[in-house]
Amino acid sequence: MSAIPRRDLLRGAALLTLGGAVSQLTLTGCGSADQPVGSSKAGPQGQVVVWMHEEPANTKYFNAKIAEYQKKYPKVSIKPLYVPIANLDTKLSTAFTTGAPPDLIKVGAWTLAERASKGQLAPLAPADFGAGSLDQLKSRFEANAFAALTYENQVYGTPIDFNSVHLWYRRDRFEQAGLDPDKPPTTWEQIAEYSQKLTNADASKVGLQWQLADNIWAMLNFIPLIRGLGGQIIDESSRRGTLNTPEGIKALEYYGSLGNPKLSDPVGAFGLFAKGTSAMLMSGRFTSSLIPAINPEAKLGKTFDSAIVPSWAGKEKVAAGYSWGWMVAKKAKNPYTAWHFINWLTEGDNVNQQLSATGLVTPTAGWQKLPSASDKASQQLEEQIPYTDFGPVLPQWTETIKALLDSLESVIHKKQDARTAATAFDDAVGRILK
């Protein structure tokens, strides 16, 4: 298995292109010779089944874009299915196993290696985007935006929701606790101090609340803690877990000291933050649109705000990042039209409209110059990318990070101490990656 070296991913992500307008991608290439419907000669046509995770602001935006695309291309019928994010991977796995996957899928890049290694995804053909080469196609996007969508030197999708996680906080809760809302905490030590002041006697309201019971958020919340201390979750070269170290133990103890795991909401920590139950949240750029969608009374810049990811006092900054990708199933019935639709979403003002409506970044070249990218959260995303860690890339990602989630939950629910949980994780990784 050939994984993407993290240093290459970060180096490429750091070289953000600062000039130019959003590149327009025009389909002029050739479709597959055995394609049953749609081709570059006939143009987009037929039905495209799309599966993606459910998210209020994006669902509304995506439905409007489907209607716009179908009006422009009346021979096409786009059939979306919005799946709760916690159920998406399981539903996709079942569909692939039964041989009846959707044509087009919005997939977390962290699961790419697993799906590509099983032959479930169609490689991206530059010609399907009117590009003469992969390098030409990549030039329309930010430097190395495709790195997270590459497995064994083959690209399998186009990027969307390119993100680096930072701190979101409730200005109103800060004011109520006597904290200056214009001076958010900058270190993890300050996060702990602020959390004490923001937590009431029965912990029905808290300071920072982690997003619990979810693999990807387990990784995104924990990476800044352990990597910021100089440690790591696993050693990819030796294929072993590395939590049972001084850095891992300290990170686990800190993780277990914040928030209240008994608090619940249908959308987890996002809902708790939107309603003011928690005062701080680690999340991405999309949060600017998600929180008002959950609670219309929450106003960005007035009720809540964003800040750079905290760091340990005296230590280097480390952020956690992720990307989603649009991917086509290898057994898709209408691959040409599926790619045509996704290509169209990056044309003209669509990327700017998407960022404005949903907070999701499609990293086309120069996205930072879009009118919708002038906000604080977008500027913070751009600042953080150079020191963002995208986590391990391996076919056993799901099993490995599930083991991490289990250890984190055992600590935060006080079922195990940090050292016992760390040992359990390292043992589990040894079995998974042997």
Structure tokens at 39: 């081709």
Q: How far apart are CA 50 and CA 328, in angstroms?
A: 9
Render pLDDT for 129-152 as a digit per residue (tens, 0 to 9): 878 898 999 999 988 788 889 998
Distance of CA 123 to the CA centre of its chain: 21
Domains and CATH numbers, the chain: 6-164+322-389 (3.40.190.10), 166-320+392-432 (3.40.190.10)
3-state SS class at 377: helix
The whole-number pLDDT of residue 9 equals 36
Structure tokens at 330: 């290898």
The whole-number pLDDT of residue 129 equals 80
Q: Indicate the angle between helix axes 335-344 and 56-72, nearest 10 degrees.
A: 110
- The structure's pTM equals 0.80
The whole-number pLDDT of residue 180 equals 98
Q: How far apart are CA 265 and CA 210, in angstroms?
A: 12
Render pLDDT for 78-116 as a digit per residue (tens, 0 to 9): 999 999 988 999 999 999 999 999 999 999 999 999 999
The whole-number pLDDT of residue 40 equals 63
The whole-number pLDDT of residue 1 equals 32
Q: How far apart are CA 364 and CA 335, in angstroms?
A: 22
Angle CA 248–238–110, to nearest 5: 70
Tell me which DSSP letter residue 358 carries.
Answer: H
Please identify every stretch of the chain with a pLDDT value under 50, giving residue numbers as ranges.
1-37
The whole-number pLDDT of residue 125 equals 80
Structure tokens at 186: 């900058």
The whole-number pLDDT of residue 403 equals 97
Q: How far apart are CA 431 and CA 434, in angstroms?
A: 5
Paired residues of 325 in beta bridges: 107, 159
Residue with tokens 């056993």: 396
Burial of 186 from C-beta contacts in 10 A (0-12 / 13-18 / 19+): middle
The whole-number pLDDT of residue 28 equals 35
The whole-number pLDDT of residue 337 equals 94
**Could you count the other beta carbons within 10 Å of the beta carbon of residue 383?**
15
